[in-house]
Structure formats: structure tokens, C-alpha cells
């Protein structure tokens, strides 16, 4: 089949998100100006450069209670956030933190998670997560939106510091088989990294 994205696709559900898979999940901790800590998952997320390390997250739509999603609002006001990696074992906790609760409701408590202080930024880290990226807002970019009364906003962040739990290192390399990072597919589907292999690049 083929469909033009500005015309109906004729399928029961929009297939687009299943066409770009798997997408890593940024489990983003941030702090509201009132001091409330927020945690929510975002899968329109990726690393975009490594020298210096930078990441992007895309926010789609408003908060159900009105205004921007809490994470976006907090990043814009504080200019800081932490990306926590979600291992397969924490999938249920991750799912709890997607609830569209008011900003003064602590999603970490709802999900039974605990925090550790960050080194360079105010938002704390999810203690149970194996890897954390401490980030500073680099740029906010408004994206087009075809839905009425909605917004799409991309945030680019500079990664200032990286925490890696010693126990997920094997011979000095991150051992993804010990983490099984959770990733997003389309629809309500997920996958996790459980196969890792190496390939040499051709010499030019």
C-alpha cells in the first residue's frame, strides 16, 4: 500500500509510528518552578550528536489539564532535565509515570521509585535506572502541527554529565544485555534490546 500523509491512510490505526522503530525512551525528570519533581516517558527522543553529546525530545499536544506538558514547561523554565534509561524490568513503573496528573502529583511516588541527586543539574535522577544523562536546554524549536488546538515542540539538550552504574559495565563497555533497554514501537507495542552483535565497517 501507499498513502499520502495529507490524505486518509484507510487503516484502522495510524501506522506511522511503527515505520520508525524502535525508538528509545527518555524517562525525563525535571523540576517545576514550585520545586515539584516530575517524571514522564518520551519516545520521540534520540541522541543527535556525540561530540559534544546532544539529545532531542519532541513534545506533542497539550497537558490534559491545559497548557504545555509538565516536562516541556519545566525544561523551558528551568533549562535543565535528566534523561533516565528505562530497563525492561522497570516497564510497569515507566507506564505509571505517563499518567496525565497535575504537576504537584509526584509520579515517582506513584510508581514506587526513588531519587538520587544529580551532580550538575537540579532535577534528580531515578535511582533505579542504570544510566542517566544530565542535560541543559540548548534550543527549543516549534514544529508544524496539523491537529487543531495542538502543538508540537522539539527541545534540543546538551548532555553535561553521564552516570553509568558500575554493575552494567563489562570490560569497560556498557553491557546492554544486563539492562535490556525498553523501546517504543507503534500502537501500544514495545520491545527491548536483547540481541547485541558487532560488525566491522568496510575500509575505505
Ligand X SMILES: Cc1cc2nc3c(=O)[nH]c(=O)nc-3n(C[C@H](O)[C@H](O)[C@H](O)COP(=O)(O)O)c2cc1C
Q: What is the torsional sign of CA 56, 60, 63, 67?
A: positive
| Residue 95 φ then ψ, to 5° | -65, -35
- What span, in angstroms and rounded, lies between the C-alpha atoms of 62 and 50? 31
Q: Which of 45, 38, 37, 39 is nearest to 27 (CA)?
A: 39
Near ligand X by CB under 6 A: residue from 37, 40, 56, 90:
40
Closest to ligand X by CB, 71 vs 118, is 71
Minimal distance in Å, beta carbon 90 to ligand X?
12
- What span, in angstroms and rounded, lies between the C-alpha atoms of 24 and 133? 14
Near ligand X by CB under 6 A: residue from 29, 31, 37, 43:
43
Judged by CB under 6 A, which stretch of 33-41, 77-85, 165-173, 192-200 contacts ligand X? 33-41
Judged by CB under 6 A, which stretch of 7-15, 52-60, 123-131, 141-149 contacts ligand X? 52-60
Residues in 78-137 that interact with ligand X by CB under 6 A: 95, 98, 100
**By the 8 A CB rule, do 82 and 121 touch?**
yes
Minimal distance in Å, beta carbon 25 to ligand X?
5
- Using DSSP's 3-state secondary structure scheme, residue 33 falls into coil
25 binds ligand X (CB under 6 A): yes
41 binds ligand X (CB under 6 A): yes
Q: Which of 156, 139, 159, 131 is nearest to 51 (CA)?
A: 159
Judged by CB under 6 A, which stretch of 4-12, 55-63, 112-120, 140-148 contacts ligand X? 55-63
183 binds ligand X (CB under 6 A): no
- What span, in angstroms and rounded, lies between the C-alpha atoms of 129 and 88? 10
Minimal distance in Å, beta carbon 186 to ligand X?
11
138 binds ligand X (CB under 6 A): no
Specify the DSSP element, H or E, that contains 93: helix 91-96
58 binds ligand X (CB under 6 A): yes
Task: Note the residues at the interface with ligand X (CB under 6 A).
Answer: 25, 38, 40-44, 58-61, 63, 69-71, 95, 98, 100, 184
Amino acid at each position: 500500500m501507499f498513502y499520502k500523509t495529507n490524505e486518509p491512510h484507510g487503516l484502522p490505526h495510524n501506522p506511522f509510528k511503527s515505520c520508525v522503530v524502535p525508538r528509545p525512551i527518555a524517562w525525563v525528570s525535571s523540576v517545576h518552578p514550585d520545586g515539584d519533581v516530575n517524571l514522564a516517558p518520551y519516545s520521540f527522543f534520540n541522541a543527535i550528536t556525540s561530540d559534544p553529546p546532544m539529545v532531542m525530545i519532541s513534545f506533542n499536544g497539550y497537558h490534559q489539564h491545559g497548557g504545555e506538558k509538565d516536562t516541556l514547561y519545566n525544561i523551558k523554565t528551568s533549562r535543565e532535565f535528566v534523561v533516565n534509561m528505562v530497563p525492561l524490568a522497570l516497564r510497569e513503573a515507566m507506564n505509571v509515570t505517563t499518567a496525565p496528573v497535575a504537576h504537584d502529583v509526584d509520579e515517582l511516588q506513584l510508581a514506587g521509585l526513588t531519587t538520587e541527586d544529580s551532580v550538575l543539574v537540579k532535577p534528580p535522577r531515578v535511582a533505579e535506572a542504570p544510566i542517566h544523562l544530565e542535560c541543559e536546554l540548548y534550543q527549543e524549536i516549534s514544529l508544524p502541527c496539523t491537529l487543531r488546538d495542538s502543538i508540537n515542540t522539539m527541545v534540543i539538550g546538551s548532555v553535561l554529565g553521564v552516570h553509568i552504574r558500575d554493575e552494567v559495565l563489562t570490560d569497560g563497555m556498557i553491557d546492554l544485555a544486563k539492562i535490556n533497554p525498553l523501546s517504543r514501537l507503534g500502537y501500544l507495542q514495545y520491545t527491548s534490546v536483547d540481541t547485541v552483535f558487532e560488525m566491522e565497517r568496510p575500509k575505505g
